[in-house]
Structure 1
């Protein structure tokens, strides 16, 4: 990350070649107080010519290659110890070729990277990373609304330096109040999450607008939140949420007070919208401003101004700006005028670096909710890397290092002996995999004759459950291939014979019949390991059947995570009441559920490259003290697994 300094505080900049954007680079560098050198092309005002890169002085910390193939220039620049190269336009060599060439390389990108930042604005700044100039333009325009940008970068093709590198760098820079990212793709989503984890450690909020397919969006958003990122859905929400998080100190209370000097209905309308979004909001028209801010139950004050009405709204704007300076609590104003040209808005409200000013009720609600949620979560979960999920491994939170738990455990070695590339495991084999990781399953035996099934039932103890077993056997219950509560040898013998007849008729090649212990009732859930195209292995929990698709009623996390995060997953479940006890019944053994989730996570960490899917369903969570038992399991190996 040290090489990125030249992108923001260059001492010397060298131009290599000619091409579009040269004048932008020169203006930017001179404005930053850097010496500017040119290897080829006209020197121009303020630009010093040099015959070759070898003649550069030692203070050059940024090179800009203008057009063409950058590779021929990289080796001489590396020999000259130039730490960072920006490729402006030109071709895009493969990342492997660039990363082995010496200096770090940003781009290929466009001239928007060298847009100058205003230095006349105060308050905590927003550090921006966007993939293209048009994507970053709404954030750049925040300066016109009085919001200071501390850093600005456009990554382009991200052949080497990525958004993750920049987020990790921003997190350690003074004066950064929040990091705003507009990224239409995440080339390495896990690297971005690790960089976000670094920002979480430094208590720097990260707000991100990303593009993802509808099937991936819930998983990506859950992963972003897990690592302290605030996901948003539009460029205007990105602007408003980043501004509030940059300017507002952590909340002291959860209450949202909605202030109005006179009752117009706007306060009540906003309070209703905020309450519907899960905020503890109340309309307080007529209450004195200073009294609201002094209320210990108020964490955020919001004042909607539906329309300008001078001189009253002029006085109100000044009172709000003064109050924002005098309080530690965030003061938010919604200015409803369509024009937005009024002096109260342009000069007073936007002129305050302590106010958060919005133009719509919806964006204000979304930003306040994100602000409270972010700080609530940050207080409970400072960083995923502060709590390793297991005792023995440690995790490197650098943006280029992959999560690396301890060497494969004995559990992994036992489990891998069951895996077959591209194959679906039978339920019995899948349960053996779970048992290898200490996940409780019923006592059971796989039998291949009626007599063996009777002997197994006697050993297990009546009543028993019988299930036909085959790797690709679906809808067993509908086919009549499951029997529950069998209490005698004759019932077991008859069930076995019926199973073989049904299988023969349906042309199912059984590998046997499972005779299983009956397990008492409890809350039924499902835990799943799935492979996400962006994030790799993920762990999901939900009501029986729900985790097949992430969304309502499920909780999703990306390994590694620890016990606190596993408990947070349980708390998120909309089907939580069965865990708390129904109709006076005893509560479920949540501790056992959390332990099971962590053990499934271990499978994801150690076998995630081998497993395409693992379903533990139903997982019966019995009453407190009686544990959790996996009654069913299904596993599918990845085609390329070892």
Structure 2
């Protein structure tokens, strides 16, 4: 973990170089109570700044250096012998910025002067620790102070030449007074480092809320990975603000019921309850009920009061009653203040003056935040770090599977199934044959009925070409079919490596489990419907290794086709445990062979009746090229 204390509460700050931001840094440092030194500074420098001849002459209490202007690399290297643990580079990226890591102290930046914006120290309540890449991105979070929300920490990472958002999240999770961590993640240099930091925060029960700006194709995968590690992804800057405030201020819920309160039945409570119910919350409109009775109800975990428009003095009294209730209870109390102006004393002074009350301006943001609050605490209570369960040594399966890999090539179905078999994923009995006589012998050994499939690594659209035949029940059928398949292949100029004679497996529900490389996260495991069902029941669930059985089961449970596994439509319940086990085994392949496999597709994976397991009827694998 990076030593970042000097960035927030420095004892001594060294200035290296000169630039327009120098005075702002000095004011920030003196306000923090730090001593300020100017390396090679002039005696007539700014008041309160002590000049020193060189970085080697800095005293031992300097825990932060600020490099201003020019190429930062020479200055950072000079700091390498001074034992200053952390340096901030102010200014735009330079040609040497990518070489700052390892040049001396840990380096934050290159970044802008917004990093040194002062934080208010007069606000009570749990604080929000902020990390953003740029000042403009973080500005909406910084402005929360104007609404009475305390910021415990503020950092702008800039180009992340060394210190990253992940370093800051891990550091924030260790600090007292942090109620939640709010991240505006514009670009990630190391997504896996962020997941490890998120896991660290989850272990310490510190909520993390993140707004990501990944490419449209990557963002759903990144958001799924963040959820997996306890982060609450949001979709807009205003949701980032509102959700972080609720998670920071509200204590863990004792129940999941949402009571929607209003003194007069205006319909606002019923409207909010309907919105919340549609989002999966257990919400009930309770107009006219006494506040203390609602908060005493053991089934209520959150109280929400919509105020569509100010109506003094009635809403003045209501605001005071809600603020007093929030201070007296350990349950979350939320208010939706609907006034467009937002200048009313009931809002600006009473509601925003409470460090326990959470005030929203829209119904949608309140629903989103309450859902995130309840979901996050439910998952946090069951959090087990997947890194604790990750095997330290390769399995015997990896030693069996590696000889099957062919760098830069696509494996045949037979070879791909051998890889699955090495990892304990069940496949049909099958033999690869190169003559009609061998096909008849193989069918007799496997047992009728059988399936014959033409086999070649690059063979696509096999069914459309007529290169798959099912339900063969005699030697004559097998012999004739073998000849038909090879003749079709010759006609279509397909170079076969043989014909697969396969066991005919009793049908169940066709699923698919895939290993797919994501540009940010590397190997991911995806589960969804497979075979013909994939065209009807679209949608997959994504998980990023490592993960445990709970996450694998959660991935299966969130599929739209999940009712099929429970026997929807009158069928018998199917072996969900076997599907979960297959997901975990593909994950093991991703952990051990993910660097060698570009993709692995187990499709269809037929899930049979409960107790009968799951069988991979089809498999494809593509190997990554060898590194140059």
Matches of 2:69 and 2:288, distance apart in 1: 63
Query: Which of residues 236, 242, 245 is equivalent to 1:243?
Result: 245
Q: Does 1:183 align with 2:185?
A: yes
* CA–CA separation in structure 2 for the residues paired with 1:97 and 1:486: 65
SS of residue paired to 1:531: strand
Match of 1:280 in 2: 282
Whole-angstrom CA distance in 2 between matches of 1:309 and 1:149? 32
1:597 corresponds to which of 556, 577, 583: 583
Matches within 5 A, 1:237-636: 237-386=239-388, 388-389=389-390, 393=391, 405-406=392-393, 408-544=394-530, 553-636=539-622
Residues 120-135 of structure 1 aligned to structure 2 (within 5 Å): 120-135=122-137
1:3 matched residue in structure 2? 3
Deviation at 1:96, TM superposition (A): 6.2
Cα shift at 1:591: 1.8
Task: Say which SS state the counterpart of residue 612 (structure 2) adopts.
Answer: coil
Q: Shift in Å at residue 413 of structure 1?
A: 2.5
* Matched-pair contact (CA < 8 Å) for 1:611–1:638: yes
Equivalent pair of 1:228/1:383 in contact (CA under 8 Å)? no
Distance 1:91 1:547 in 2: 50
Q: Structure 2 vs 1, CA of residues 576 and 2 (structure 1 numbering), >3 Å: closer, same or farther?
A: closer
The CA deviation string for residues 226-248 of structure 1, in whole angstroms up to 9 with x for no partner, is 01011011100000000000111
Q: Using the alignment, how far apart are the partners of 1:33 and 1:137 within structure 2?
A: 25
Whole-angstrom distance in 1 between the partners of 2:28 and 2:578: 59
Structure 2: unaligned runs, 5 residues or longer: none
Matched residue SS, 2:109: strand
Q: Structure 1 residue 37 and structure 2 residue 37: aligned?
A: yes
Q: Residue in 1 aligned with 2:202? A: 200
Structure 1 residue 100 displacement after superposition: 2.1
Q: CA deviation digits over 1:195-229, x for unaligned, max 9?
A: 00000000001100111122112111110000101
Instruction: Give the drift of 1:95.
Output: 6.4
Unaligned 5+ runs, structure 1: 394-404
Decide whether the 8 Å contact of 1:334 with 1:358 is kept in 2: yes
In structure 2, distance between residues paired with 1:353 and 1:552: 45
The question of whether the paired residues in 1 share the 8 Å contact of 2:450 and 2:503 is answered with yes
Query: Over aligned residues, Cα RMSD in angstroms?
Result: 1.7
The answer as to whether partners of 1:3 and 1:61 remain within 8 angstroms in 2 is no
Match of 1:126, SS?
A: strand
Aligned partner of 2:223 among 221, 225, 240 = 221
**In the superposition, relative to structure 1, how do residues 161 and 546 fare at CA in structure 2: closer, same or farther (>3 Å)?**
farther
> 1:172-210: per-residue Cα shift (whole Å, max 9, x none)?
000000000001111110111100000000000110011
Q: Is the 8 A contact 2:512 2:603 kept in 1?
A: yes
Cα pair 2:212 2:219 within 8 Å, conserved: no
* Counterpart residue number, 1:401: none
> What is the TM-score when the length of structure 2 is the normalising length?
0.97
SS in 2 for 1:477: coil
Cα drift, residue 533 of structure 1: 0.3
SS at match of 1:99: coil
Structure 2 CA distance, aligned partners of 1:577 and 1:50? Answer: 72
- For residues 490 and 210 of structure 2, the distance between their equivalents in structure 1, rounded to whole angstroms, comes to 56
Of the three residues 94, 98, 105, the one matched with 2:107 is: 105
CA drift of 1:552 comes to 6.0
Q: Distance in 2 between matches of 1:251 and 1:312?
A: 30
Query: Cα offset for 1:40?
Result: 3.8
Structure 2 contact 2–167 (Cα < 8 Å) conserved: no
The separation in 1 between residues aligned to 2:96 and 2:528, in whole angstroms, is 41
Residues 517-576 of structure 1, C-alpha deviations (whole Å, 9 max, x = no match): 011122211000000000000001011159999x96321110011112111112212211
The alpha-carbon deviation at position 441 of structure 1 amounts to 0.4
Residues 1:142 and 1:552: Cα distance change in structure 2 (over 3 Å) = farther
Number of equivalenced pairs:
625
Q: SS of 2:323's equivalent?
A: helix
Is this contact kept in 2: 1:527–1:547, CA < 8 A?
A: no
Which secondary structure does the structure 1 equivalent of 2:547 belong to?
coil
- 1:382 Cα deviation (Å)? 4.1
